């Protein structure tokens, strides 16, 4: 039997990319033929993939597809119509409202992704989430059965020699406050800047904030945050963009505190990277963050800069507190890393394969053209209701349906 994976894009060094490559390792070690089918891939990983267009005729009814869903894509839509049985791994779609007025294209992609996800309810035999939060989302959308496929982090990318240039730049007696993650609205870098600015003014002027993560595609948002920094008079903020593994290793080694203000996370692997590197974590208790931290670190609910500044001061100034936090983080990390990911994954697949095969939902030759047309009509209904109501109705639409639309 062949078990393949399909996803929109295989990125280099991101959480989904690490998981996809890890799953392929598990499947091949278990004796399955396994390929990665994508629409696009980082150039460093292109040789590891198959173009989604080549999947037509290659993937047969005796195969299994593991579909990694984060956003709708042509690869996903092609996979929908292939004859193989399908399991879905849900990777969390950021609520579109985070991108309103910041990134209209991505806002629309997230909105469409959420709508497209629901089309897979009758198609997949098993839907998996990385956390209990994900599983609840899947059940709310109507998927059944569902289960959790936990993230078991791999820290091999951090077990290397740190970049010496960063050590020279930040390896002084200043307090280094670090956040690792993409520079995007849901991760709230502007809140981090406000918090650290308050900490500098109230407690410790010799502190800096270091933000490591790509801001590619978010140039306007980057400019907005820079404008906020200027208006606030915030200083000693270092926005590094995407960093190498050696640079990331150096940053964790240099960090005194890992500070997170994110308001939407499906899991947040950097929290566990900080645990692994012995950096005390202070994080906003939103979405999956408390589940990931498992009672370790410090969680806060109130986004008052003075409150977070006081937490920073307590952790930085009290060595015994830092040691106690790191000890709890070590215990929480052990709970994550001792889970047998290989056994859990193969167990889920075995149960799916042992269950009666679901009939394939009927897929008309123009199914996705109709889906796209319905999406455009829905956007018109929401954003230009007058134009929507002016559209001619199909001749077989009942009077009741016409009145319902006009209301």
User: How many other CB atoms sit within 10 Å of the CB of residue 259?
Assistant: 28
Residue 238: is its pLDDT beyond 90?
yes
Burial pattern 124-152, b for ≥16 Cβ within 10 A else e, equals: bbbbbbbbebbbebbeeeebeebbbbbbb
Q: Is the model's pTM score more than 0.85? A: no
Write down the domain spans for the chain.
3-152+340-363, 156-337
**pLDDT interval class at 391 (50, 70, 90):** confident
Average predicted confidence (pLDDT) for the chain: 90
Coil, helix or strand at residue 59: coil
- What is the share, in percent, of the chain residues with pLDDT greater than 70? 94
108 or 265, greater pLDDT? 265
182-191, 199-208, 362-371, 397-406: segment of lowest average pLDDT:
397-406
Residue 371: is its pLDDT beyond 70?
no
Q: Which superfamily does CATH assign the domain made up of 156-337 to?
A: Glycogen Phosphorylase B; (3.40.50.2000)
13-22, 32-41, 187-196: segment of lowest average pLDDT:
13-22
pLDDT of residue 221: 95
373 or 322, greater pLDDT? 322
Residue 162: is its pLDDT beyond 80?
yes
Cα separation, 59 vs 65, in Å, equals: 8
pLDDT of residue 75: 85
Q: Check the CA dihedral 326-328-329-333 and report its sign.
A: positive
pLDDT of residue 71: 77
**pLDDT interval class at 399 (50, 70, 90):** very low
Residues in CB range of 407: below 8 A, 6 or more apart: none
pLDDT of residue 104: 87
151 or 173, greater pLDDT? 173
401 or 319, greater pLDDT? 319
Residue 405: is its pLDDT beyond 70?
no
pLDDT of residue 365: 64
Residue-wise pLDDT for 52-61, tens only, equals: 888 888 999 9
Residue-wise pLDDT for 300-321, tens only, equals: 999 999 999 999 999 999 999 9
- The string of DSSP letters for 80-98 reads HHSSSEEEEEE-----GGG
Q: What is the DSSP letter of 331?
A: H
Residue-wise pLDDT for 64-104, tens only, equals: 999 999 877 778 888 888 889 999 999 888 999 999 989 98
Residue 193's Cβ-side half-sphere holds a number of Cα atoms within 13 Å equal to: 23
CATH class assigned to 3-152+340-363: alpha beta
177 or 19, greater pLDDT? 177
**pLDDT interval class at 400 (50, 70, 90):** very low
pLDDT of residue 130: 86
Hey, do 3-152+340-363 and 156-337 end up sharing a CATH topology, with the first three levels equal? yes
Cα separation, 276 vs 319, in Å, equals: 18
Kindly state the average pLDDT of the residues 280-292.
Answer: 96
pLDDT of residue 105: 83
Q: Which residue's entry shows tokens 């999406």?
A: 375
């Amino acid at each position: 039997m062949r078990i393949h994976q399909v996803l929109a894009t295989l990125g280099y060094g991101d959480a989904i990319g690490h998981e996809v490559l890890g799953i392929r390792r598990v499947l091949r070690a278990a004796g399955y033929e396994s390929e990665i089918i994508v629409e696009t891939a980082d150039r460093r990983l292109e040789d590891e993939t198959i173009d989604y267009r080549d999947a037509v005729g290659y993937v047969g009814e005796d195969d299994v597809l593991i579909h990694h869903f984060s956003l709708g894509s042509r690869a996903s839509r092609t996979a929908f119509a292939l004859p193989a049985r399908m399991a879905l791994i849900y990777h969390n779609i950021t609520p579109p409202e985070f991108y309103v007025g910041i990134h209209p294209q991505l806002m629309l992609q997230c909105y469409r992704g959420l709508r497209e996800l629901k089309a897979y309810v009758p198609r997949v035999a098993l839907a998996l989430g990385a956390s209990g939060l994900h599983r609840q989302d899947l059940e709310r959308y109507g998927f059944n059965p569902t289960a959790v496929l936990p993230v078991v982090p791999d820290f091999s990318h951090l077990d290397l020699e740190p970049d010496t240039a960063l050590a020279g730049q930040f390896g002084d007696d200043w307090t280094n406050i670090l956040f690792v993650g993409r520079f995007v609205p849901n991760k709230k870098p502007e809140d981090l800047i406000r918090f650290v600015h308050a900490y500098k003014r109230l407690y410790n002027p010799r502190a800096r904030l270091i933000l490591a993560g790509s801001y590619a595609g978010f140039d306007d948002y980057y400019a907005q945050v820079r404008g906020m920094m200027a208006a606030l008079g915030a200083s000693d903020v270092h926005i590094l963009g995407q960093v190498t593994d050696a640079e990331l290793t150096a940053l964790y080694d240099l960090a005194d505190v890992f500070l997170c203000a994110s308001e939407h996370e499906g899991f947040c692997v950097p929290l566990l990277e900080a645990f692994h590197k012995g950096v005390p974590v202070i994080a906003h208790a939103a979405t999956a963050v408390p589940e990931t931290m498992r009672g370790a670190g410090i969680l806060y609910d109130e986004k008052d800069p003075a409150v977070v500044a006081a937490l920073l001061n307590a952790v930085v100034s009290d060595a015994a507190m830092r040691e106690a936090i790191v000890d709890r983080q070590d215990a929480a990390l052990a709970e994550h890393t001792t889970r047998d990911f290989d056994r859990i994954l193969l167990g889920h697949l075995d149960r799916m394969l042992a269950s009666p095969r679901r009939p394939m939902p009927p897929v008309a030759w123009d199914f996705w053209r109709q889906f796209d047309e319905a999406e455009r009509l829905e956007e018109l209904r929401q954003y230009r209701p007058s134009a929507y109501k002016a559209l001619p109705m199909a001749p077989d639409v009942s009077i009741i349906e016409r009145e319902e639309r006009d209301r």
